[in-house]
Amino acid sequence: MATCPIDGTTFTASRPTHTYCQAKCRQQASRLRAKAARAPDSHGRNLVAAQKTVTALTHADVIDSARIQAFLTLAAAVDAAPGNPALWARYLEAERGLRDLVPGEESKFGQLQARLRAVG
């Protein structure tokens, strides 16, 4: 005897690998797994990277808290909707804006971009 994790029905499993009582429960479980995979991560990679960037740049004391909060909010939004190109553009623009406020600060990414522009 087995219990379906979707609707709680007790059923006799014909094979030990059968977990669901019916095909509709198996399909619903598949949809729930897919939905969970798409759910936004409260501490996604972009937000963590943004927090590290802010930590590294705040030593100069030229960045106001409103810009920092806007940047972190955009990072969280990009984590929640990574397929949205408009959010990515605003996020990258905000990052460049923060970096431009710090005198003499050039990232390795910026150095790479400069080298690529020189080559091609």
Shared domain for 10 and 52, answered yes or no, is: no
Rounded Cα distance, 50 and 81, in Å: 16
Shared domain for 60 and 102, answered yes or no, is: yes
Shared domain for 51 and 74, answered yes or no, is: yes
Shared domain for 67 and 99, answered yes or no, is: yes
| Beta bridge partner(s), residue 3 | 10
Query: What is the domain extent for residue 28?
Result: 2-38
Shared domain for 34 and 50, answered yes or no, is: no
Shared domain for 53 and 107, answered yes or no, is: yes
Cα separations in angstroms, 48 against 39, 67, 76, 109: 17, 16, 9, 17
Mean pLDDT of the chain: 76
For the segment 43-78, what is each residue's pLDDT rounded down to a tens digit? 678 888 888 877 777 665 656 777 888 888 898 888
Shared domain for 52 and 106, answered yes or no, is: yes
Shared domain for 31 and 88, answered yes or no, is: no
For the segment 7-38, what is each residue's pLDDT rounded down to a tens digit? 777 878 777 777 777 788 778 877 777 766 66
Shared domain for 53 and 24, answered yes or no, is: no
Closest CA to 68 of 49, 90, 87, 51: 51
